[in-house]
Chain A
Amino acid sequence: MTVDFIFEFLSGLLDGFISSNSLLIISMLVPCLAIFGFITVYALVVIYAELKVSSFIQDKVGPMGQGVGLHAGKWGLLQPIADALKLLLKEDIIPSSADKPLFILAPFMIFIGAFISFIAIPFGESIIVTDLNIGIFYILGVGSIAVLSLILAGWASNNKWSLYGGMRSAAQIVSYEIPAGLSLIVVIMLAGTLNMQDIIKYQAGGIFNWIIFDNPFVPIAFVVYFISAIAETNRTPFDLPESESELVAGFATEYSGMRYAFFFLSEYANMFVVSAVAAAGFLGGWHSPIQGFMDSPAWGVFWMINKTGFLIFVMIWLRWTLPRLRVDQLMNVCWKVFLPLALINIFGVAIWTVVFNS
């Protein structure tokens, strides 16, 4: 919708001067640049948040600018920028026995996978780059591109750790896509549409109209979705593939500098995407909890970012609280606990809806 809106606005303004095709390209370019800017700013914020939150959980203070020199800014605010600059300045080493085309392709693929799922996330009432009719299904499908890029990264590095990390990571993400998809089916069953904005509009009216309160089975579906989403983004307690103490850096062992940065930028971007989908599907999206209070289109962005931010905070909190799962425990939990639970949820919600006709 944003693309349509900008296109109509510019057409009304500059109709005769510039051809319609170039106006279309400009009206696609501006939101994509805005999304890229948002991803960058968000990455800086979430890296800082992770440093601070993890430090407080571990009873430390994290990056602090102290003493005379502001080497990390006041309260350590310049730390993420320093990190980004450091990664830009690192030497880009491609091992001599690595498979060069695939080595270079992998960061492209994973970033593009994360970036194009951003363009279907609704930030506000009509603030969504493309209002695809298959919105939530598209996000789920595009999230599966990351699997391939991890395998290729592991393979191309020609390193046992990378290969194991990549394969395990792929097996994990691929397994957890099923409970995540099945839990989103619950949302779609209740909302009756795949369109992200329509799912959110279904939840209009205060907090008790949100899908999570619709049905006693839906909170279980929300928990299953959220945990599967954490597993899909390779966060602790599911981060065996990239675990720092076990496999060096897993599939990204041989990557340095900006290529490494793109893998972890994509991980943070994926965190945002899955949290945004959970917030939009289960927690009411850009609606405010009290109808009428702070409930205009501009406040919509505020609520959406807050709900997503809260879920990201929970992810960071879980990371620094729980120990890591072993790979066989991981797979057991997915196929033997979450998959039956997700199927029971679907049956439960379906029977409840049919019986109570709500």
Chain B
Amino acid sequence: MYRDFGTVFFAVIMGIVMVSIPLIISWLIAPSNKTKDKLDTYECGEEAEGSAWLQFNIRFYIIALIFLIFDVEVVFLFPWAVVFKEMGLIALIEMGIFLLILCAGLAYVWVKSDLEWVRRRIKYGGGRYKPLSASSED
């Protein structure tokens, strides 16, 4: 086991070296005329306006949270899957309970519209948007 993971460690170091070599070659042979315009950040050719901070959708954070919970669940599924065929029905029932509880969690998050990327915030809907205004309770 040490030798296998030692190879992983060695590969990490090799990776660092392998990335550095083309960067060094590029540094040696590429031109270097830094003008002020080149060093500005890109904004479709205009002057950059405001610093790069914008009010972020909190959905990014919620997605990462939900991912983390399911990631831990996937991690528990791996050792179960390895011994599943040997242990048969009892393993199935035990994991079934585990997964059903987590499916309940998924259902909760789904119903409470935490998985929506875009919040429907149409308050005064009329016509074809009328059914949407009812779901703006989020």
Touch between chains A and B, by CB atoms below 8 Å: yes
- Whether a CB of chain A sits under 8 angstroms from the CB of B97 is no
Q: Inside 8 A of A343's CB, which chain B residues have their CB?
A: 99, 103
Nearest A residue to B36, CB-CB: A96
- Contact (A119, B30) CB under 8 Å given A174-B67, A185-B77: no
- Whether a CB of chain B sits under 8 angstroms from the CB of A131 is yes
Stretch at the interface among A25-33, A68-76, A304-312: A25-33
Taking the nearest CB of chain A, how far is it from the CB of B74, in angstroms? 4
- Contact (A130, B27) CB under 8 Å given A192-B85, A350-B92: no
Taking the nearest CB of chain B, how far is it from the CB of A72, in angstroms? 22
A167 to B56, CA, bound (A): 10
Taking the nearest CB of chain A, how far is it from the CB of B2, in angstroms? 10
Number of A-B contacts (CB under 8 A): 201
A92 to B29, CA, bound (A): 11
- Contact (A347, B14) CB under 8 Å given A91-B30, A175-B63, A192-B85: no
A332 to B114, CA, bound (A): 11
Q: Contact between B3 and A4 (Cβ–Cβ < 8 Å)?
A: yes
Stretch at the interface among A45-53, A254-262, A287-295, A313-321: A254-262
Q: Contact between B86 and A192 (Cβ–Cβ < 8 Å)?
A: yes
Q: Inside 8 A of A60's CB, which chain B residues have their CB?
A: none
Taking the nearest CB of chain B, how far is it from the CB of A190, in angstroms? 8
Q: Contact between A347 and B99 (Cβ–Cβ < 8 Å)?
A: yes
- Whether a CB of chain A sits under 8 angstroms from the CB of B122 is no
The 8 A CB mask of B11-54 against A (1 = contact, 0 = none) is: 11011101100110111011111100011111110001001101
Interface residue from A87, A91, A95, A115 paired with B11 (Cβ < 8 Å): A115
Give the size of the chain A interface in residues (CB under 8 angstroms): 84
Q: Inside 8 A of B81's CB, which chain A residues have their CB?
A: 185, 188-189
Interface residue from B38, B82, B118 paired with A193 (Cβ < 8 Å): B82
A31 to B14, CA, bound (A): 11
Q: Contact between B31 and A91 (Cβ–Cβ < 8 Å)?
A: yes
Q: Contact between A178 and B70 (Cβ–Cβ < 8 Å)?
A: yes
Nearest B residue to A93, CB-CB: B38
Taking the nearest CB of chain B, how far is it from the CB of A129, in angstroms? 6
Q: Contact between B92 and A351 (Cβ–Cβ < 8 Å)?
A: yes
Taking the nearest CB of chain B, how far is it from the CB of A215, in angstroms? 12
Interface members, chain A 100-134 (any B CB < 8 Å): 107-108, 111-112, 115-116, 119, 129-133
Q: Inside 8 A of A115's CB, which chain B residues have their CB?
A: 11, 14-15, 18
- Contact (A350, B63) CB under 8 Å given A4-B3, A98-B41, A133-B1: no
Taking the nearest CB of chain A, how far is it from the CB of B109, in angstroms? 8
- Whether a CB of chain A sits under 8 angstroms from the CB of B108 is no
Q: Contact between A93 and B34 (Cβ–Cβ < 8 Å)?
A: yes
- Whether a CB of chain B sits under 8 angstroms from the CB of A97 is yes
- Contact (A174, B64) CB under 8 Å given A95-B40, A115-B11: yes
Stretch at the interface among A10-18, A158-166, A217-225: A158-166
A94 to B26, CA, bound (A): 14
Q: Contact between A36 and B41 (Cβ–Cβ < 8 Å)?
A: no
Q: Inside 8 A of A193's CB, which chain B residues have their CB?
A: 82
Taking the nearest CB of chain A, how far is it from the CB of B3, in angstroms? 7
Q: Contact between B11 and A32 (Cβ–Cβ < 8 Å)?
A: yes
A133 to B84, CA, bound (A): 17
- Whether a CB of chain B sits under 8 angstroms from the CB of A331 is yes
The 8 A CB mask of A235-272 against B (1 = contact, 0 = none) is: 00000000000001000011001110110000000000
Interface members, chain B 86-123 (any A CB < 8 Å): 86, 88-89, 92, 95-96, 99, 103, 106, 110, 115-118
Q: Contact between B6 and A161 (Cβ–Cβ < 8 Å)?
A: no
Nearest B residue to A180, CB-CB: B74
Interface members, chain A 22-46 (any B CB < 8 Å): 24-25, 28-29, 31-33, 35-36
Q: Inside 8 A of A185's CB, which chain B residues have their CB?
A: 74, 77-78, 81
Residues of B within 8 A of A (CB): 1, 3-8, 10-12, 14-16, 18-19, 22-23, 25-27, 29-34, 38-44, 48, 51-52, 54, 56, 59-60, 63-64, 66-67, 70-71, 74, 77-78, 81-86, 88-89, 92, 95-96, 99, 103, 106, 110, 115-118
A-B contact pairs, 14 of them (CB 8 A): A29-B10, A32-B10, A91-B31, A92-B26, A92-B32, A95-B41, A108-B19, A115-B14, A160-B54, A174-B63, A175-B67, A331-B63, A339-B70, A354-B88
